[in-house]
Structure 1
């Protein structure tokens, strides 16, 4: 039976998401992880061994330069997405970047520009856009004219200034980590809003601990979105 050669991925970073996506890649026929990169060589070696990858690198630049790798999956903290994507694009590698695509609009626009200039594939790893039910709702005329979207996603995350989710220098905060899902769903179904009203609260580190708001669209359409439950520091009372 004819089989296309294995498509080889390089994994940038070694955290929970990197491990989860790496495991999904090796479980897919025709896909494999060929290399792992991290600033911590020991962690790169450990994940490479777990995924059956031949190579482990102590830098993202060396990972991107590996000639055996076809595409780079970027699973670093948000603020490092541009740096890794830039190295991958320069090496001619396709890039699948964990959401959010970048920590700032300027970084995202630069990534898109570099990819277009190099003729290299670049995509944000927003799984929600590939969910069969969401794709059906977005494309099937039987659902009619969507007038209102209500979306909420959050979880309890006690404040820990040492954790990346609470660190401003790592792109922490509820909106970039959780809010991309409800806001992204609203954008997928209703497009870009013409106005918005947002409220929320800040963590002691200055990042957004929670947020909610209304997105406004032409013709009275609207979306109610929120990223609740961040920063819960109190224990739940006993029943």
Structure 2
């Protein structure tokens, strides 16, 4: 999927590129609630509350159920636990999150980008500072059509799993949570370890050609069902690792 990254998203004062980047972060969460969105993502958007409402109204987010959330009370100077509605990205959101704003490229350029990605997959598997490694990578989208000499981008769905025994020796879920919070705030954890976001950034390596999406537990490719989505497995981790 290609988008005009500089086009305005639904008259909100934000480009489609900024909304796409927000949905990429949302797609990595087990659920999304508005208070978290306002604190983490909305602070960088124009008309952030309106954007969230539009994402719901236009089917990018669907209700998932109420969740308990700790909200800072400035008057009492403590956290109050309240119940808020939560949401989950839909297949429409995953499609936009995985969209490319880059111009179409020659197949030779796309092939080179894919080869570079696969090299970094192998490098990531041996880096002792990575809490996660690639378990499976699947190619889908325009590159699957051998007749196309110009493709929109290299669409990849990537499944990350804990890098055992590095994950456990580093502190397991406790450290992984701390690393995730640091990466969500745009920084690297003081320990030097990379979490899922950090590993994904390494795999992408700032390539404008690569479009990486998370593969869900049920095997969905960027929110799209594999049963009806053409795809090809380009990497599968050895079960002996």
Q: Which has the larger radius of gyration?
A: 1
Structure ranking higher on relative contact order (CA contacts 8 Å, 6+ apart): 2
**TM-score range for the pair, normalised by the shorter chain length:** under 0.3
Q: TM-score, normalised by structure 2?
A: 0.24
Q: TM-score, normalised by structure 1?
A: 0.24
